[in-house]
Structure formats: C-alpha cells, structure tokens
Amino acid sequence: MDLKPLALREKDTPIIIAGPCSAETEEQVLQTALEIAASGVKLFRAGIWKPRTKPGSFEGVGAAGLAWLKRVQKETGMAVATEVATQSHVAEALAAGVDVLWIGARTTVNPFAVQEIADSLQGTDIPVLVKNPVNPDIELWIGAIQRLYRAGVRRIGAVHRGFCSHEKSAYRNVPLWQIPLELRRQISNLPIFCDPSHIGGRRNLIAPLSQQALDLNFDGLLIETHCQPETAWSDADQQITPEALCQLIRQLTNKNKNDEIVRHIHTLLSEQNTCETERISQFSQHAPHHLSDLCRQIQCIDEKLMWLLYERMKISCELTIHKN
C-alpha cells in the first residue's frame, strides 16, 4: 500500500493520544484536556458516540460534544480525535473540524459499516485509525484497512486493542501480540498503535502494556485519561488521571536497552506465526475437520510459548543490567 504519513509524530517520540473514554460534560472535557496538554501531549481523544452492549447505558452525548472538542482545539492547541461508526458520524465530525477519526472494534467486524464509512471519506485527507475486530481475525482487520484505501484514504493507522476470549485471563481483552506483528509483516509501512486501556481493563496494567508495545516497535499509544476516573460514566476502571499519564510518559522515555534482542524475538514471532499458518492451511485441505482443530490448538499453544520466551528474555536482560 502506498500510504502517506499520519503527520502526528514529533521527532522520534511515540505518538501519544490521550483523553477520556467518553465526553461527559463540557467541564469534564476541558479540565481533562487542559491537564493533559500540560504534560506535552498533542492529541486529545474523546468518545462522542459510544456503542454499548445493552440499551439504557450511557451511549455518549452525541453531536453536542463536538463543540467541546472545538473548544479543546482552541484553548489547548491540541488536535482532537473521536470514533465514528456511521456515515452521519463522519459527516458531523468532518463539519466540526475533528483532526483524526478512528473506527472501533465493533464496527471493524461489519464490512457493510466500514464500506459506508470509507465511501463517506472519499476526497478527504484526514487520518483514520482502524481498531482490530473484537475476535482475532486478521483478515477482517486487513479488509477494513483495504476498504479505506480503495476509497482513496491514504493516511491510515491500525490500533491493537486486544481480542475477546472465552479463556480466563488477567486482561479484559487478551493481547495476542503475534497478530499485530503479522499485520505489520503484511503491511510494513502501516503505523500501529496500542490501546493498553482496552487490553488491560485495569489502570494498573496500562504502564506495563504500554512499555511492551513500545518494545515491539509500535508507533504510539491510545491511553484513556480522565480528570476523575473513579466517577467516569464509562470504563472507569481502565482510565488514569492526567498526573498518572504524565508519570507514565516519563517512564516510557527510557526505551528498552536491548533492542537487538527485542528485534530478534519480534522476527521469531512473525516467522513462527507465518509458518504455522501456512502449515495448517496445507494440512486443512486434506485432513478431517477435527484434526485441523487440533492443529490450531497447537498453534495457539506455540504462540503462547513464544511470547513467554520473549517475556523471559526481557526479565533476564533486566537482571543483567542490575548486576552490572
């Protein structure tokens, strides 16, 4: 793909996009934005329309909140980003001067919805970020990106926010890092962000997940940040304060000191995933269905083993640093 730069980066630093899960009130948006701006972040995010599982819960303030984002632009100088899920969302966001759009995980799973958004973006030059689908389906993720590209959108990025799983996990959405790594292998010039808030589901997991993403050469982070996260109207457990965000950013400036090892593991994960996918594809053409399922279970275990190896090597490197 002949993609254009997102033009959101300053120097060689990771791109940080921060702000509340939902825009709740004008005061909450402005207070959070002013405190985030003080930490040096240049891009503010807030959900205006919120897709929820059940009716009756807070589904966003709607188009009225776009005026609040315009105030953020004017009073802080930050660019602003919000999620769109329909053609009308796109039209209203563009009319309000929103700088960056993103497509959420629940929308990415619906090719009809993505195509509608892509069609409504024809002729624009706005950056669009595409979150991974809810389920671990890389083809669906790539398909959404291709729909935007075929509509003429050239400033595209991907957002890794983890995947739903029936297995018990410490995460809200399991990372399955090998999937965004495979996405990068297939589209090498695609910027990839990590959403540690949605992966972790708890604020104490945001910092380690953010560092993991940067260790794997992700281009940036989306971090849900709220002036009073404990009272947030949505996803209260996974939002941090602007003060905590500032501290997190300072900690992330000390990049991993073992880049060669990280690159090596990065390559192993990508190559292993590719080889296993090809092997299973060939086997599935001739084997009974239940045997193919067993092969996929082995692949899942192999992926977990590779990731554990990566984690072990990181810890070993840290021990070496402290010993020296």
For the chain, the structural domain boundaries read 15-252, 259-323
Q: Kindly state the average pLDDT of the residues 153-165.
A: 95
For residue 119, the model assigns a pLDDT of: 97
pLDDT at position 187 over 90: yes
Angle between helices 242-252 and 206-215 (to 10 degrees): 30
pLDDT at position 211 over 80: yes
Q: Give the DSSP letter string of 89-126.
A: HHHHHHHTT-SEEEE-HHHHT-HHHHHHHHHHTTT---
- The pair phi, psi for residue 219, each rounded to 5°, is -85, -20
For residue 9, the model assigns a pLDDT of: 66
Tens-digit pLDDT profile for residues 287-316: 555 666 676 677 667 666 766 766 666 666
Q: Kindly state the average pLDDT of the residues 32-47.
A: 96
- Structure token pair of residue 306: 């590779």
Q: Kindly state the average pLDDT of the residues 39-53.
A: 91
pTM, 2 dp: 0.80
Confirm or reject CATH 3.20.20.70 for domain 15-252, answering yes or no: yes
Other Cβ atoms within 10 Å of 252 Cβ, number: 17
